[in-house]
Structure 1
Amino acid sequence: MTQMFIKKAFVPLLLTSALLTVTACTKEPVAAPKVPSTDTTAPTTGIKYTASFKDGKYDPPITLTTINQISASTTFKNGETMENNVHTKWAKERLGINLKYNWTAPAANKAFETRLRLALSANEDMPDVVAIAGNTALANDLIDSGKFMEVGKMWEQYASPLYKKAVNEDPSMWYPFMRKDGAYGIPIPEYSMNDDTVFYIREDWLEKLNIKAPTTIDEMEKVMDAFVNQDPDGNGKKDTYGMAAAFRDSLVSTQATAGWLFGAYGTMAEIWNEKPDGTLAYGSVQPGVKPALGKLRDWVDKGYIHKEAALMDETKAAALFTSGRAGIIAGPHWMTLFPLADLMKNVPGAKFKAYTLPKGPDGKQGRKGNLNFSGSVLINKNAKNPEAFFVYQNYLFENFAFPGKDSEFKYQFAEGYDYAIIDGKPTADTTKIPGGRVIPQKYTIAFEGARIPSTQMEAYANLAKGNGPTNQFEVRSSLIADAPRLQAATINLALKDISYREKYTAPPTKTMKSRWDNLKQQEKDTFAKIIYGEVPLDEFDNFVKTWESSGGNTITGEVNEWYQSVKKK
């Protein structure tokens, strides 16, 4: 089991290491980046177009080439594809931009990343625009290839006021993409706390077994034991699990995560944490990781967690819950709609509810939180119409991100796709939309249309109080904010102060470039062997010593040198 897990984790790391050796690193990370201006007090000035531009659109239309990674939640209807759909038609009709996809690939199994890295190593021509979800390492490899332009000056000239406002909520989102001579990636703003973890528990199982939801790790173990050994689904078989977990790609993933367990012991594995003294430390080598790994080891051994969790990605782990075989899953507030709503379709009478996170032995709670950006957009040096991306994204920010009452996006992206008008009222109920609900905003270049970090949770906070919508964004949010989501969002907001967010967001340090892949592989190997009982728990102590002497201490110094320089600004 463990060897299969290690092999799957090792292959992409080998590819990454190999490609880094052939990728030119011509632009060093800047110590204290001077981010592009996000001043919204003055309108954009000096607008120049590279083609005929009339009445808000290119006339005749221009072509903008790109590529796309297709996630599991990106679905289509009416025979449409990523290359030809309601969104591509909208871009051409509204903006005079003909979106041409050089290629697309699934996000799953790192297929998109592998395809892009191979294109980079083969020195293929890059498209006009490349959007990278997450994965700042991949974005930085593209930047270091020398194929993409500095975008800070274009940002100041072309970005619209609301676009700048969205990024200005957290200017540090620029840091991963800065070099000495400017910015080379445009951050993609994300909703604050969008991926932060809450607990979901089978409410009908709790009721059937007459037990309460856990508030501590000890209580949780008793609940999981009951879910495994007291036949909560009533089929007379021992075929249920306490918790669904996805270990294949990360122990602190977004869905089916174990991040909250590390948080209960005062750290967050796999990211850089800020210590009480204001310095940064890598979470995976902190003392709290050892007891957390010990718990995971016990839970796998006792059958509380499926023994194939090491082979499960988030989708497969969530399916364990939605098929009725697991009683607990940890993940974001939005899981209520997808995929957890499938539970009720698959298991008649089933129901779940969001709960707070269990506390550790010292009363601690913690969870991995998302940053206020979800990726980046790079613009090719040879793009014929480089400002076209801003024409496109400005429109989405000014009309989609926070719509007015007369906006074409006042309910969702497109009628008949993500909403329908029934008896004069909008609905996002998939059963009432002909052909079911799909989400066209996921077809957009930046994956989710346009987002202003603070808006979503503010909207849910108001709606959860039972107040009517106070603006059109809240009207739109109310279409998908059913009772389960608002209940989960309320839990999410109550936990706003316990999230660990990655504190090191700059490009790789000098030593990271040569040592980090090996250190990460040692981490994956050791943690997997501990969890599956191949080595004693005390092997963690040996791992920490090796990590520190194999470049970890040097990297920690480099990371803190950057962090202190940024904090002085």
Structure 2
Amino acid sequence: MKKFLLTALVLMMSVSVFTGCTKSAGSSEPKTTATSDELTPYGKYAETVTYTIGKSTPGIPKLPEGQSYENNAYTQYLKETLNVQSKDLFEAKSGDNYDQKVSMAVASGDLPDMMSVGADTLRQLVDNDMIADLTEVYKSSASDLVKEKYDSYNGRALEAATFDGKLMAMPSTSNANIPTMLWVRKDWLDKLGLAEPKTVADLEQILTAFIQKDPGGNGKGKTVGLALSKSIGGLYGSLFQADNIFATYHSFPRQWIEQDGQVVYGSLTDETKQGLGLLADWYKKGLIDPQMAVRDSIESLIISGEAGAFFGPWWSADYPLNDARRQNNSADWKPYIISEDGSGEITAYTQNPAAEFYVVRKGFEHPELLPKIASALNDKLVREDLNYQPVVDFITGGFDGGKPLGIGINFNDATGQMYKDLKAAVDGEKKVDTLTLDDRTSYNKIMEYLKDPEKADANQWSGYTSRMIGAKLMAETKVNEVNPVFFGQTKSMKLKWANLVKLEDETFLKIVTGQESLDYFDTFVSTWNKTGGNDITKEVAEAIKQK
């Protein structure tokens, strides 16, 4: 009942604000009161600037004793660097609690000077003229490196925050997590005298050998060839998805893509049907986990040594393979890139480059403060001031939630760059103390592994395998990127999307496991369109035109 009343209150307040506060498109934008020196990325204010924020906090507070969200290593750094101090207008746990606080702030019109919002809320704030145009202060107050990082997304990150040619927010970025890789028990390959895989056909031969010859000694019928999630595919950069298989057919499940000049939902294409057909054939042959439909923990298959292969991102050596290595130090997992023709060149869809959006309240006297703080945290602190001791102590102590604004801006190829930095340090071409704190930890594990690979512990093995083998494939694999054209939510999606996703998941699982024939895919497409999908597709196309 309380939840109902709160929701009703937000809705009523929203009507009041959005009908009473809407301004004309030509309303004047207050200018910053900063001096020309203060407008530069690291120009220190002559007088302390206090700004209010909507603070998203960790689920479990992790701050050092005596520190708070308004007074900690990060706020101290920003005070020393820029002479600014945050004040929390509201605090809420990240997720639904924080989103509810944002909704209340927007509905009441009582916005903090800066806060993070989702794409839908950003659109509301823009339409109702409630946030500042950041176009000019981004040019003057964002550092060159921050601009380079955004540029690495070929304009896609900032485009998501741009309306009618005006930059209305600064997004956190989501760097590339493709290609996902085929992880295989290399020790099993060696035991059976099998060549390393390059193609999908190679993988089929390997899986056949694994289940027929049981190189892990699990017992007849107990070895699983390919561990696969019951969600099948379309979850970007995730474990146990079959995206690599679908991509060889130019299929991109769950993604809104452009095909023959039209916006289509990737799960409905003929190419997706072909990918499902191959997986269904493999399942029928026993190459895929026969219990995938009811398997609660795929990780347990990997850790126990029952499975011989799975698809996963570059960091899979950290999880779940670190635990597998602890269980069996001889379990030698290795990542591979497989493609249709064995060239090593693959096609893969990309993710939404803008994870969340940071906005400035219209009327705040220092709109340049957002790009300045973003630059301090994502450039100066991680390069020039990377050894700033209070922050070093905060990070090494395992604490979290100190940054007043959680905006994270990375290069799109950040993982590949991490590999190159670590490789240079290992080869003696880069000073170790110039690495980030995380990379220094990885460097130590790598060097310990290289001393004696045969005796390396699980942490040393996973540190080396993920960052010197998995990340190397990330850096060197040629990827033909397919950029989805829509990541948002339409009006009909709010009511119908959950049921459509359920329909899709159930259909794909039934087809792969043989409960339905491949022809049932056509029935699925028809049902999907009739139960809201057709309306949603039209709304997506219209939303793209409006953007």
Would you say the 8 A contact 1:220–1:358 is kept in 2?
A: no
Q: What residue is the counterpart of 1:452 in the other structure?
A: 411
Q: What residue is the counterpart of 1:97 in the other structure?
A: 85
- Describe the superposition over 1:490-547 as per-residue Cα deviations: whole angstroms up to 9, x where unpaired: 3223433234332335x55677677655544543343344345443322211222344
Provide the rounded CA distance (Å) in 2 between the counterparts of 1:351 and 1:250. Answer: 26
Kindly indicate whether residue 327 of structure 2 is the aligned counterpart of residue 327 of structure 1. Answer: no
The alignment partner of 1:255 has SS state of coil
Q: What residue is the counterpart of 1:260 in the other structure?
A: 244
- Describe the superposition over 1:352-400 as per-residue Cα deviations: whole angstroms up to 9, x where unpaired: 2121124389999433333544332234568797654434212123314
Q: What residue is the counterpart of 1:167 in the other structure?
A: 150
Provide the rounded CA distance (Å) in 2 between the counterparts of 1:446 and 1:340. Answer: 33
The alignment partner of 1:214 has SS state of coil
Task: Identify unmatched segments of 5+ residues in structure 1.
Answer: 1-15, 28-42, 106-111, 420-434
Matched to 1:530, the amino acid is I
Q: 1:139 to 1:293 in 2, by over 3 A?
A: farther
**More deviation in 487-496 or 300-309?**
300-309
Q: What residue is the counterpart of 2:160 in the other structure?
A: 176
Q: What residue is the counterpart of 2:468 in the other structure?
A: 486
Q: 1:188 to 1:533 in 2, by over 3 A?
A: same
Q: What residue is the counterpart of 2:454 in the other structure?
A: none
Q: What residue is the counterpart of 2:478 in the other structure?
A: 496
- Describe the superposition over 1:317-348 as per-residue Cα deviations: whole angstroms up to 9, x where unpaired: 45653454433232332343455334323332
Provide the rounded CA distance (Å) in 2 between the counterparts of 1:486 and 1:61. Answer: 44
Would you say the 8 A contact 1:246–1:255 is kept in 2?
A: no
Question: Pick from 364, 368, 372: which aligns with 2:349?
Answer: 368
So what's the TM-score if we normalise by structure 2?
0.69
Matched to 2:357, the amino acid is S
Provide the rounded CA distance (Å) in 1 between the counterparts of 2:539 and 2:433. Answer: 43
Would you say the 8 A contact 2:179–2:348 is kept in 1?
A: yes
The alignment partner of 2:182 has SS state of strand
Would you say the 8 A contact 2:237–2:313 is kept in 1?
A: yes
Q: What residue is the counterpart of 1:212 in the other structure?
A: 195
The alignment partner of 1:188 has SS state of strand
Would you say the 8 A contact 1:64–1:385 is kept in 2?
A: no
In the TM superposition, residue 97 of structure 1 has moved relative to its aligned partner by 3.0
Provide the rounded CA distance (Å) in 1 between the counterparts of 2:191 and 2:145. Answer: 51
- Describe the superposition over 1:422-468 as per-residue Cα deviations: whole angstroms up to 9, x where unpaired: xxxxxxxxxxxxx7xx486x864665744233555245357658865
Matched to 2:56, the amino acid is I
Would you say the 8 A contact 1:47–1:157 is kept in 2?
A: no
Q: 1:508 to 1:174 in 2, by over 3 A?
A: farther
Q: 1:490 to 1:516 in 2, by over 3 A?
A: same
Matches within 5 A, 1:513-528: 519-528=500-509
Question: Pick from 345, 357, 369: which aligns with 2:338?
Answer: 357
**More deviation in 218-227 or 361-370?**
361-370
- Describe the superposition over 1:145-199 as per-residue Cα deviations: whole angstroms up to 9, x where unpaired: 95962443453454334333322333222333444584443222343x3343122
Q: What residue is the counterpart of 1:397 in the other structure?
A: 378
Q: 1:119 to 1:88 in 2, by over 3 A?
A: same
In the TM superposition, residue 138 of structure 1 has moved relative to its aligned partner by 5.5
Q: 1:253 to 1:23 in 2, by over 3 A?
A: farther
Matches within 5 A, 1:407-418: 407-409=384-386, 414-415=391-392
**More deviation in 214-223 or 512-521?**
512-521
In the TM superposition, residue 286 of structure 1 has moved relative to its aligned partner by 1.1
Q: What residue is the counterpart of 2:3 in the other structure?
A: none
Matched to 1:393, the amino acid is A
Provide the rounded CA distance (Å) in 1 between the counterparts of 2:87 and 2:51. Answer: 9
Matches within 5 A, 1:89-168: 90-91=77-78, 96-98=84-86, 100=88, 102-105=91-94, 112-113=95-96, 116=99, 120=103, 129-131=114-116, 140=122, 143=125, 149-153=131-135, 154-156=137-139, 158-168=141-151
Q: 1:291 to 1:224 in 2, by over 3 A?
A: same
Give percent identity, aligned residues only.
Answer: 24
The alignment partner of 1:288 has SS state of helix
Q: What residue is the counterpart of 1:292 in the other structure?
A: 275
The alignment partner of 1:366 has SS state of strand
Q: What residue is the counterpart of 1:31 in the other structure?
A: none
Q: 1:118 to 1:163 in 2, by over 3 A?
A: closer
Task: Identify unmatched segments of 5+ residues in structure 2.
Answer: 1-6, 20-33, 447-463
In the TM superposition, residue 279 of structure 1 has moved relative to its aligned partner by 5.0
In the TM superposition, residue 269 of structure 1 has moved relative to its aligned partner by 0.8
Matches within 5 A, 1:170-319: 170-180=154-164, 182-191=166-175, 193-228=176-211, 230-234=213-217, 236=219, 239-247=222-230, 251-256=234-239, 257-275=241-259, 277=260, 279-297=262-280, 302=286, 304-305=288-289, 307=291, 317-318=298-299
Would you say the 8 A contact 2:63–2:399 is kept in 1?
A: no
Q: 1:454 to 1:294 in 2, by over 3 A?
A: closer
Q: 1:478 to 1:68 in 2, by over 3 A?
A: closer
The alignment partner of 1:493 has SS state of helix
So what's the TM-score if we normalise by structure 1?
0.67
Structure of larger gyration radius: 2
Matched to 2:486, the amino acid is Y
Matched to 1:176, the amino acid is A
Q: 1:500 to 1:173 in 2, by over 3 A?
A: same
In the TM superposition, residue 261 of structure 1 has moved relative to its aligned partner by 1.8
The alignment partner of 1:66 has SS state of strand
Matched to 1:500, the amino acid is V
In the TM superposition, residue 207 of structure 1 has moved relative to its aligned partner by 2.6
Would you say the 8 A contact 2:246–2:272 is kept in 1?
A: yes
Provide the rounded CA distance (Å) in 1 between the counterparts of 2:312 and 2:150. Answer: 25
- Describe the superposition over 1:247-269 as per-residue Cα deviations: whole angstroms up to 9, x where unpaired: 45964342212211211221111
Would you say the 8 A contact 2:177–2:237 is kept in 1?
A: no
Matched to 1:194, the amino acid is N
- Describe the superposition over 1:387-423 as per-residue Cα deviations: whole angstroms up to 9, x where unpaired: 544342121233145x2xxx2216999445666xxxx
Would you say the 8 A contact 1:88–1:98 is kept in 2?
A: yes
Provide the rounded CA distance (Å) in 2 between the counterparts of 1:148 and 1:228. Answer: 61
Provide the rounded CA distance (Å) in 2 between the counterparts of 1:205 and 1:56. Answer: 62
Q: 1:252 to 1:368 in 2, by over 3 A?
A: farther
Provide the rounded CA distance (Å) in 1 between the counterparts of 2:161 and 2:230. Answer: 29
Q: 1:173 to 1:304 in 2, by over 3 A?
A: same
The alignment partner of 2:217 has SS state of coil
Would you say the 8 A contact 1:196–1:368 is kept in 2?
A: no
Number of aligned residue pairs: give it.
491
Would you say the 8 A contact 2:49–2:85 is kept in 1?
A: no
